[in-house]
Amino acid sequence: MPIQTDFHLHSSFSSDSSTPMEAMIRGGIELGLTHMCFTEHHDPDNPVSPGETPEKYLLNMDSYLYDFLRYQERYQDRITLLLGVELGLQKQTTEENLAFAKNWPFDFIIGSSHVAEGQDPCFPSFYEGRSEKEAYCSYFSSVLENCRVFSDFDVYGHLDYVVRYGPNRDRNYRYEDYRDVFDEILRTLVAKGKGIEVNTSGVREGLRELHPATGILLRYRELGGEILTIGSDAHTPRDLAAAFSQAETIAKDCGFRYYTIFEKRTPKFLKF
């Protein structure tokens, strides 16, 4: 049976989407999804551009929860809707993120790195004055730091997010070239009982592979990792469940026989 659960979704409650939540839900129902987990962005201390306010990157939980519960009830006979968040992790926001995670009834929390050294890697300035490999190493080192200092998440999202934006993107990128730092990241996640996601947005962004690269998935499995969620990172209905057949094939080739969904922060394993 094809994967029918999308566990990384955004709507207009995230600063980078203008799609109403109900439109996303209707799109999922049309595709035959059985579960959708909204994981709206909450990115404290995200650097802002001129004219922006820090609130742009903070999730209005009162409004989010109000609409979510309303639609959860409205569509309960057609699809299971789950409440999630994508927490932007940085060392200095650890206490703030801990409080946020505990104060709301989330089913699922993705930990993500959208900022390293105070900069978002989507901006060219992140790569100025150093090689692409040095910039990527800086980003991966920040992921490792976040894994070590913060634990209140269920999976780490798009572990190699940075390669979307490098000067050569993922043309020269291989897990083997960053093995030392990735192995420390993956060992830390496995020791903490945390998972990683297969994020299919990479291919629609023009990358050769999904997030993370296949070599990382294979190594996570070799190190004993078992928790693997599948998410499209969709911000519009047209991207829901995109490339899920490719994600399933790669996961199976890496030795995974199950993928994971969460409810009330508890994992449930579903057979591919």
Residues 6+ apart with CB under 8 A from 161: 112, 113, 114, 121, 139, 211
Residues 20 and 64: beta-carbon distance below 8 Å? no
- What is residue 16's predicted lDDT score, i.e. its pLDDT? 94
Which CATH number is associated with domain 5-271? 3.20.20.140
Q: Token pair 């004219």 is at which residue?
A: 51
Residues 6+ apart with CB under 8 A from 73: none
| C-alpha distances out from residue 221 to 64, 175, 224, Å | 35, 14, 5
pLDDT, averaged per 10 consecutive residues of the chain (272 residues), comes to 93 97 98 98 89 86 98 98 98 97 98 95 95 97 98 98 95 95 98 98 92 97 98 98 97 98 98 96
- What is residue 272's predicted lDDT score, i.e. its pLDDT? 95
pTM for the whole thing? Answer: 0.97
- Residue 251 CA, chain-centre distance (Å), reads 16
- What is residue 1's predicted lDDT score, i.e. its pLDDT? 65
Rounded to an integer, what distance in angstroms lies between the CA atom of residue 256 and that of residue 170? Answer: 24
Give domain limits for the chain.
5-271
Tokens of 180: 């030392």
